[in-house]
Amino acid sequence: MVKSYLKFEPLKSFGLVATSSSNLVWSAKDKSGTGAGQAIVAANKEVLVWDIKKGELLGRWRDENNKAQVTAIAQSKIDPDVFAVGYEDGSIRLWDSKIATAVVGFNGHKSAVTMLAFDKTGVRLASGSKDTDVIIWDLVAEVGQYKLRGHKDQITGLRFVEPEPQIPESDGDEIMAIDNEASEGFLLTTGKDALIKLWDLGSRHCIETHVAQSNGECCALGVSPDLTGCITAGNDGEMKVWALDIVSLASSAQKVDLSQAVRFLHDRGTLHRQSKERAVEVTFHPRRDYFAVHGVEKNVEIWRIRSELEIKKALARKRKRRREKLVATKQKKGAEDAELEEDEKADDVANADVSDVFVQHVIVRTTGKVRSVDWATSQGKKDLQLLVGCTNNLLEMYSIVGRDKLKSKTDNPDYNRALAVELPGHRTDIRSLSISSDDKMLASAANGSLKIWNIKTSTCIRTFECGYALCCAFLPGDKVVVVGTKEGELQLYDVASAALLESVDGHEGHAIWALQVHPDGKSVVSGGADKTAKFWDFKIVQEQVLGTTRRTPKLKLIQSRILKVSDDILSLKFSPDSKLLAVSLLDSTVKVFFTDSLKLYLNLYGHKLPVLSMDISYDSKLIVTSSADKNIRIWGLDFGDCHKALFGHQDSILQVAFVPHNSDGNGHHFFSASKDRTIKYWDADKFEQIQRIHGHHGEIWALAVSHSGRFLVSASHDKSIRVWEETDEQIFLEEEREREIEELYESTLTTSLEQDPDAEDGNREVGAATKQTTETLMAGERIEEALVLGMADLNVVHEWEELKRLNPNAAPPQRNPIFGMLGNISAEAYVMSVLQKIKAAALHDALLVLPFASVPMLFTFLNIFAKRSMNMPLTCRILFFMLKTHHKQIVASKTMRTMLDGIRTNLREALRRQKDEMGYNIAALKVVGMQMAESSIKGFVDEKWDEEREKEESAAVRKRAFVHVS
C-alpha cells in the first residue's frame, strides 16, 4: 500500500504593518474627507488597509493565484475605490476597495512594475517597469494598447500630462472650438538612465528628451498639480527644476506639423537637498504649495514654493544690496546706469533664480528609514499632514505647521508625530519563536522587543522592551517568558502584569545563542559564546516590599551547574525523556552528554560548517541536525551513527523541528527552514521530502511547531509571522514530485517565451503590449480544440442536412457528446462560449498561439457570428486582430479572399442594424432628457454662480508657483 501524508496549508499571516517593496497611498476615510483617513500599503504579496487613527486593520486584499510581492500602488483620481497594484512578476491588478476583489488583471511586463499612474479620466493606466518599458493600458476594453520603448534602465517616474485644450482666436471675431477628444495627452517619464522624456500619446512617440541629472541616475520625478513644472531628483542631493510650457503643449496637440522645433521642457536650475543620499520620491501637495522629498535616510525634507509677492520682495532686496554695493565702490555713472537697467530686467519674476522660488520649510526626522510618503489631505485639518512608511515595519503620520500658521516670520516651522501604526509588528527581524503549552499564545523575540500574540485572533497581547533577543521560551504555566540576549543576559517577563521580573547577567557579556527548558519544567539551560552551558533552577523567593514589612513571592533564577566545552555553543536540546543533552559547537561538531552526570556520551562528526539548529524526536531515538553547509543529517541516539545526510536547501538551514504527533504516532516527521525562503517537510524514517512550502519573501529565521502537531509558525526577514495548518488533504510522494516537475517546466516555458522578443518590433520605439504566460498558452489550446470540434460538427450537420433533403426521415447525426452535455447547442455557440470565457486582457496573446492552419477555421466561425450578430464587439476585435497579425499570408491566399468577401457583407449588415438600434435609443434618450428639462424648476437658480466659481478656481490655479517659472 502506498503511504500518504497530510498536507500543510497556509492559515494566516500577521505581524506585518508595511513592507518596503512598494510605495504607499493615503485615502480619505469617506467622501467628506473627515477623519484621519486610511493608509493603503504593501504587505509582501498582499495589500493592507490601515485606519491610521485607531491602528486597526480594515482590509486585506489577497489574490490566491498571486505569489509575487507588491511593488507599486496607485489610486484612481475619478473613482477613489479603484486601485492599481503592480507586482514583482510584472503583472498588474485593478482592485475594488469596497469589495476587496481584483476586478481586472494585466500581464505585459517581464520584470517588477516600479511605477503606476492613472490619467485624469480614469480610463487609462500607465505602468513602468524594471524592464525599461512603459505600457499604456485601456481599462475599459481591458487590453494593453501599446508599449513605449526608449529608456535604457528601470523607470523611476511616470505622470500623465493632459493640458486643458486651448481655444485659439482666429483673425476675425469668431472663436474656433476645439474637439475635447482630439488629443490623447502626453506622458512624462524618467529612468535610472538619467533621462527625462516627454511622449506624445497621440502619435505614440517621444517628442523631447533631456538629461535629467548630471551626476548619474535620475531616481524620482514629481510633477506639480497644475502641470506647469516638475522636479527630478538623483544622487548627491541634487534636484533639478523643469518648467513645462503647458500652453504650447496644449496647442501643439491640435497641429499636424510643427513648423519649427519647439521645446516644451525648460531647465530652470538646480536645488540641493541637505542630505547627499540617493533620492527615492518627490511628492507635491495636491492643494498647497509644498512638496516632500526623501532618500533612504531617517528624514523627509519639506520644501515650500514661494508666492509671487514673496519672490518680488526677495528680488527687491537683492537689487537693493547690489545698488548699495555699487555706491560703496563708487563706480562710474555710466556703468551704474547699465547695472540699474540689468536690475530692472532681473526684477522680472519669470527670470528669478530657482533658489528664490523654492525654499526649505522643515526637515521631518522619522523613527525609521523612509521608504515612501504621501500627503494626507483632510478637509477639516489646516495643518499639513504627511503619511510616512518606514522600512522597519512602521507607519507614521506627522503634522507640520505651515508658513501661514507661524506667529512671526522669524519663527521656525515645527512638526510633531500625530499618529502611528507600530504595535502590530516588530521593528527588526524576529530571531526566535516559542509556543505556549496550550498552543494559544506565541512569543516572538527580536532586537529590542518581545511580543506575545494570540494565535487564534492574530492580535498582539503584550509588548516588552528587551535587549537584542536571540532566543526565548515559555516557562511551565505559560505565565512567564525567558529571553536570552546578545548582551549575555537572561530576562524573565511576566505576561499577566507586563513587567520585567528579573534580569541576570548569565554569560558575562557573551551572546546567549540557545536556551532550553528542562522537560520536568523546574530548570532551564542556556548556552552561549563564552563556551559554557549553564543550568538555572527556578526558585520562588519571598522578597520584602520596599518601605513596608510585607513580603511578596518573586521568581528567581539560581545557577546550579555549569558545563564547559571547547568552543562557542550555537544550539542545545534536551531529549524528551530528559536523559540526554545535545550541544552543537562552532567547530561543526555535536556533543551529546548525560543530563545527570554531564559526562560525554556521543560525538557526532560529519558537518562541514557549524550546526545552526537541531532537534530530538519525541521517542528520544533520533536527532536531526541542520547546518550552514545546506545539509540535514539524521542520527541515531543509540550508537551515534549517521542514518542519512540530505541535501536539504539551496542556502544555510537555520531551523529544524520535529512534529510531536504525526499520523504514525512516532514523531519522526520534521520541518526545516532555510535562508532560501522555503520550509520543507521530511520523513526521517524514509528519508523523503514530503512537501515544500512556499510563502515567505525573505530568509526564514525562526520556526516553532505546536505541541499538538496540528500547526507550525514561521518568522522571516520579510517581517511576517505565518501560521501553517495541517489539513485533511492527503499527499502522495509520487504525485508531489510530478507536480513539482510540472511547475518547473511551466516556469522555464514562460521564461523561454519571454526571452524571445518579437523580431519585427524588437528595435522600435512602440511595440505591442503582449506577454505569453501559462494562462494564455492554455487559452490558445482551448480555442484550437474548440475550433477542431466545431468544424467537425459543422461538417456532420451539413452532411445530415444534405441527406435530409433527399430523405426527410433520415436519422439525426451522431454529434460529439460534449454538445449534448451542454444542452445540444450548436457548434458556433460552443466556439463563442469558449472565446467569451477568455479574459479580455489575455485574448490577443491566446490568439497568437494559434497556428496559421487554424485561421481559416476561425474565419469560418467569424462569418457565422457576423451573420447571426453574435457578440459583435468580440467578433470584430478578433477579426481585426487576426487580419493585422496574418495580413501577408491572408492576402497571398486565394481561398481566404472569397471567405473575407462573405465576412465583409455579413459584418456590414450586422453593424448597420446595430447602428440603427443605437441611433434610435440615443434619440429616445434625448427626448426623455428634453422632457425632464422642461418639467424641472429653474426659477431660483443663480445662472452667474457657475461663472463666478470658475473665475475663483482659475485665480487659485494662477497662484501656483510654476506659472511664473514657465
Per the CB < 8 A criterion, the answer to whether 38 and 691 are in contact is no
Per the CB < 8 A criterion, the answer to whether 278 and 334 are in contact is no
Name the E strands within 710-780: 711-716, 721-732, 766-767
- pLDDT above 70 covers what percent of the chain? 88
Name the E strands within 498-640: 499-505, 512-517, 523-528, 532-544, 551-564, 569-574, 580-585, 590-594, 600-604, 611-616, 622-627, 631-636
Place of cell 514583482: 88
Place of cell 527588526: 428
pTM above 0.75, yes or no: yes
Q: Is the pLDDT of residue 326 over 60?
A: yes
Average pLDDT over residues 791-816: 83
Q: What is the dihedral of CA 483, 484, 490, 491, to 10 degrees?
A: -30
Give the separation between CA 962 and CA 957, rounded to whole angstroms. Answer: 10
Q: Sign of the C-alpha dihedral, residues 529, 531, 533, 536?
A: negative
Q: Is the pLDDT of residue 942 over 80?
A: no
Q: Is the pLDDT of residue 743 over 70?
A: yes
Q: Is the pLDDT of residue 348 over 70?
A: no
Residue-level pLDDT at 175: 41
Q: Which of 375-379, 469-473, 657-661 has the lowest mean pLDDT?
A: 375-379
Residue-level pLDDT at 330: 60
Give the separation between CA 966 and CA 962, rounded to whole angstroms. Answer: 6
- pLDDT above 90 covers what percent of the chain? 39
Give the separation between CA 597 and CA 52, rounded to whole angstroms. Answer: 58
- 175 or 208, which is more confident? 208
End-to-end CA distance of the chain: 81
Average pLDDT over residues 816-821: 82
Give the separation between CA 845 and CA 770, rounded to whole angstroms. Answer: 6
Tell me what the pLDDT averaged over the chain comes to: 84
Q: Is the pLDDT of residue 83 over 90?
A: yes
Q: Is the pLDDT of residue 161 over 80?
A: yes
Length of the chain measured in residues: 966
Q: Which residues, 6 or more positions from 115, have their beta carbon under 8 angstroms from its beta carbon?
A: 72, 86, 126, 127, 128, 155, 156, 157, 158
Give the separation between CA 881 and CA 838, rounded to whole angstroms. Answer: 15
pLDDT digits (tens, 9 = 90+) for 226-249: 888 899 998 888 899 998 888 888
Average pLDDT over residues 136-165: 88
Q: Is the pLDDT of residue 899 over 90?
A: no
Q: Is the pLDDT of residue 788 over 60?
A: yes
Residue-level pLDDT at 33: 47
Residue-level pLDDT at 418: 87
For residue 796, report the phi and psi dihedrals to the nearest 5 degrees.
-65, -45
Buried b / exposed e over 195-204, threshold 16 CB at 10 Å, is bbbbbbbeeb
pLDDT digits (tens, 9 = 90+) for 349-380: 666 777 888 888 889 999 999 999 999 887 66
Q: Which of 70-84, 568-582, 902-916 has the lowest mean pLDDT?
A: 902-916
pLDDT digits (tens, 9 = 90+) for 599-641: 999 999 999 999 999 999 988 899 999 999 999 999 999 988 9
Look up residue 231 and give its amino acid.
I
Residue-level pLDDT at 754: 56
Q: Is the pLDDT of residue 173 over 50?
A: no
3-state secondary structure 381-415: CCCEEEEEEECCCEEEEEEECCHHHCCCCCCCCCE
Q: Which of 257-261, 542-546, 566-570, 677-681 has the lowest mean pLDDT?
A: 257-261
pLDDT digits (tens, 9 = 90+) for 383-433: 788 999 999 999 999 988 877 767 666 667 788 888 898 888 999 999 999
Give the separation between CA 549 and CA 847, rounded to whole angstroms. Answer: 88
Average pLDDT over residues 154-173: 73
DSSP string covering 46-99: EEEEEETTTTEEEEEE--TT--SPEEEEEE-SS-TTEEEEEETTSEEEEEETTT
- 745 or 476, which is more confident? 476
pLDDT digits (tens, 9 = 90+) for 252-269: 766 655 545 678 888 888
